[in-house]
């Protein structure tokens, strides 16, 4: 299975989905105009991945801002991941900067909607560059 890598832009997040290295990251801002078009390849990638997933699947979300259409698509991704929790041990890590209450609240909302425990990881603002690719 190939890696899916999409470099971030001013409007879209960094996406790294790498089965071989067991590294799954969605990071940055998502205010894409057509979120469904942007996120469709990601949903398809996960659908293929779950045909033969790794034993453990740990996904990192480090999303600083989502518009409403992106939020809907992130929800679709989370839902598709959780539909496969009988095939792999799933861990969702929701990273946020200590000064970014909106990002934390977005993660808590997804946790509530999908009734799945997220690991909320607070980062000091100066550590943000660790996740810059």
Q: What is the pTM of this model?
A: 0.91
| Separation in Å, CA 70 to CA 3, 35, 37, 63, 122 | 22, 5, 10, 11, 22
pLDDT digits (tens, 9 = 90+) for 24-81: 999 999 999 999 999 999 999 999 999 999 999 999 999 999 999 999 999 999 999 9
Give me the chain's average pLDDT, please: 93
pLDDT for res 126: 58
List, in order of start, the domains of the chain with CATH numbers: 4-131 (3.30.750)
d(CA 79, CA 129): 29
E strand residue ranges, 1-133: 4-6, 14-18, 23-30, 56-66, 89-97, 119-123
Whether residue 129 is predicted with pLDDT greater than 50 in this model: the reply is yes
């Amino acid at each position: 299975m190939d890696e899916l890598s999409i470099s971030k832009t001013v409007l879209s997040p960094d996406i790294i989905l790498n089965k071989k290295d067991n590294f799954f990251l969605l990071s940055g801002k998502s205010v894409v105009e057509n979120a469904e078009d942007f996120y469709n390849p990601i949903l398809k990638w996960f659908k293929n991945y779950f045909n033969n997933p790794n034993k453990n699947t740990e996904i990192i979300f480090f999303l600083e801002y989502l518009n409403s259409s992106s939020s809907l698509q992130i929800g679709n991704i989370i839902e598709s991941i959780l539909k496969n929790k009988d095939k792999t041990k799933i861990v969702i890590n929701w990273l946020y900067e200590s000064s970014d209450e909106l990002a934390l609240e977005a993660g808590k909302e997804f946790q509530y909607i999908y009734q799945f425990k997220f690991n909320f990881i607070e980062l000091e603002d100066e550590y943000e560059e660790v996740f810059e690719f």
